[in-house]
Amino acid sequence: MTINQSIPEKSKNKSIAGHTEPEFIASCARVLVIDDMRTNLAVIEAMLDSFDIQPDLASDGTTAISLAQNIQYDLILTDYMMPKMDGIETARHIRAIKGKNGEMPIIALTSNISEQAEKMFLSHGFNAVLPKPMGYDILNICLRKWLPAHLIKEI
């Protein structure tokens, strides 16, 4: 199921003068973000910061796999198009890790959100597909849906 299929008509976030304020924080959530573009990592990191989430960042699949072998994550957001090891191969390696990291939600980040691409990602073990660039409201919905409920604290 993609995040697009579950987007409600109105976001649960409060909008004040064009700026969206979160209604929850998840300061204990462990999130790994993988993208080879520093700008994309910085943007997603800033967006996650508004939820009081301090993510681990990886600029390639090899680094992400190493992190996932040593840290238990609650959610992984990964770019698809990366040099050397793409998001599908990275996810496959992470899924092979024994324990909870092999079972955690992995969300594909891609500019190709066609139905065919979506089916391809889901068939390769991704839990959902998010469009790039990703908006704040989409991230909010993703976090509410895929983070464990006990980590979400309403504010």
Residue 39: count other Cβ atoms within 10 Å of its Cβ. 8
The residue with tokens 């839990």 is: 127
Enumerate residues 6+ apart whose C-beta is below 8 A from 13: 20, 21, 22, 23, 136, 137, 140
pLDDT tens digits for range 119-131: 999 999 999 999 9
Domain ranges of the chain: 27-154
pLDDT tens digits for range 19-52: 467 889 999 999 999 999 999 999 999 999 999 9
Tokens of 24: 């929850």
Domain 27-154 superfamily per CATH: Response regulator (3.40.50.2300)
Contacts of 88-94 with C-beta under 8 Å, sequence gap 24+, read: 88/121, 88/124, 89/61, 90/34, 90/61, 90/64, 90/65, 91/124, 91/125, 91/126, 92/124, 92/125, 93/61, 93/65, 94/64, 94/65, 94/68
